[in-house]
Amino acid sequence: MTAMQDMMKDPHVNLVLSLADDLLMLGHVQGDWTGLGPILEEDIASSSMSQDDLSHALMLYEHLGSRFGLDPDVVAYERGIGDYRCCDLVTVPDEFDWAVAFVRRWMLAHWATPLLDHLIRTGEDDLQERCRRLRAEQALHLMYLDDWMRRLGTGAVEARDRMQAAIERISPLAGMLVETPDGVATSEFDALRSDWIAGMEEVAAAAGLSLDIELPSPDTLGGRRGVHAEHFIQQHTEMNEVRCADPGASW
Averaged over 26-46, what is the pLDDT?
77
CA distances from 114 to 108, 165, 166 (A): 11, 26, 23
CATH number of 9-245: 1.20.1260.10
28 confidence band (pLDDT: 50, 70, 90): very high
How far apart, in whole angstroms, are the C-alpha atoms of residue 79 and residue 61?
A: 12
CA dihedral sign of residues 136, 142, 145, 147 = negative
Q: Which has more confidence, 192 or 40? A: 192
How far apart, in whole angstroms, are the C-alpha atoms of residue 27 and residue 11?
A: 25
pLDDT of residue 45: 79
pLDDT of residue 250: 65
Say yes or no to pLDDT of 37 above 70.
no
The domain locations on the chain are 9-245
160 confidence band (pLDDT: 50, 70, 90): very high
Closest listed residue to residue 230, CA positions, set 88, 24, 105: 88
- Is pTM beyond 0.85? Reply is yes
Mean pLDDT, the chain, integer: 91
Query: Which pLDDT tens digit goes with each residue over 72-91?
Result: 999 999 999 999 999 999 99
Averaged over 148-171, what is the pLDDT?
96
Say yes or no to pLDDT of 188 above 80.
no
For residues 224 and 176, the answer to whether their CB atoms sit within 8 Å is yes
How far apart, in whole angstroms, are the C-alpha atoms of residue 218 and residue 202?
A: 26
pLDDT of residue 251: 58
pLDDT of residue 114: 95
CA dihedral sign of residues 238, 56, 188, 143 = negative
Averaged over 150-170, what is the pLDDT?
96
How far apart, in whole angstroms, are the C-alpha atoms of residue 63 and residue 75?
A: 10
How far apart, in whole angstroms, are the C-alpha atoms of residue 128 and residue 175?
A: 27
